[in-house]
Amino acid sequence: MKKLRVGIIGMGIGEKHLQAFEKNRYCEIAMLCDFDASKLAEIKAKYPQYSACLDASEVISDPRINVLSIASYDNFHFAQTIAALEAGKHVYAEKPFCLYRAEADRIGKLLNAKRHLKFSSNLVLRTVPRFKELRKKIRAGELGPLFHLEGDYNYGRVEKLTNGWRGQIDFYSPVYGGGVHIVDLLHWLSGEKITEVQAIGNNISTKGTSFRYNDMVTALVKFENGMTGKISANFACVYPHFHKINIYGTKGTFEQDMIHANYYFSRDKDDKPVADLNDYPGHSTRGELIAGFIDAIVDDAQPLVTPQEVFDAMSVCFAIEDALKSGEKVKVSYMEVYK
Ligand SMILES: NC(=O)c1ccc[n+]([C@@H]2O[C@H](COP(=O)([O-])OP(=O)(O)OC[C@H]3O[C@@H](n4cnc5c(N)ncnc54)[C@H](O)[C@@H]3O)[C@@H](O)[C@H]2O)c1
- Residue 54 CA: which ligand 1 atom is closest? 33
Beta strands in the chain (DSSP E): 4-9, 27-33, 52-53, 67-70, 90-93, 119-121, 146-154, 194-202, 216-223, 228-234, 242-249, 253-256, 261-264, 274-275, 330-331
Order the strands of the 253-256 sheet from edge to edge: 274-275, 261-264, 253-256, 242-249, 146-154, 228-234, 216-223, 194-202, 330-331
Name the residue of 18, 33, 34 whose CB sits within 8 Å of the most ligand 1 atoms, as the mutation to test its pocket: 34
* Distance set, CA 82 to CA 122, 170, 311 (Å): 17, 20, 15
Any ligand 1 atom below 6 A from CB of 265: no
From ligand 1's centre to the CA of 10, what distance in Å? 5
Any ligand 1 atom below 6 A from CB of 33: yes
Name the residue of 13, 53, 125 whose CB sits within 8 Å of the most ligand 1 atoms, as the mutation to test its pocket: 13
Name which residue sits closest to atom 17 of ligand 1, judged by CA. 12
Any ligand 1 atom below 6 A from CB of 120: no
From ligand 1's centre to the CA of 117, what distance in Å? 23
For residue 34, the model assigns a pLDDT of: 98
92 vs 290: CA distance, rounded Å: 8
From ligand 1's centre to the CA of 297, what distance in Å? 24
Residues in the chain predicted with pLDDT less than 70, given as ranges, are 284
For residue 163, the model assigns a pLDDT of: 94
- Cα angle vertex 228, ends 222, 234, to 5°? 90
- Residue 13 CA: which ligand 1 atom is closest? 16
For residue 1, the model assigns a pLDDT of: 75
For residue 210, the model assigns a pLDDT of: 93
- Residue 34 CA: which ligand 1 atom is closest? 34
For residue 286, the model assigns a pLDDT of: 77
From ligand 1's centre to the CA of 11, what distance in Å? 7
For residue 6, the model assigns a pLDDT of: 98
Name which residue sits closest to atom 10 of ligand 1, judged by CA. 71
Name which residue sits closest to atom 34 of ligand 1, judged by CA. 34
323 vs 197: CA distance, rounded Å: 7
Name which residue sits closest to atom 36 of ligand 1, judged by CA. 10
Any ligand 1 atom below 6 A from CB of 105: no
**Residue 150: closest CA among 232, 27, 94:** 232
Name which residue sits closest to atom 5 of ligand 1, judged by CA. 13
Any ligand 1 atom below 6 A from CB of 10: yes
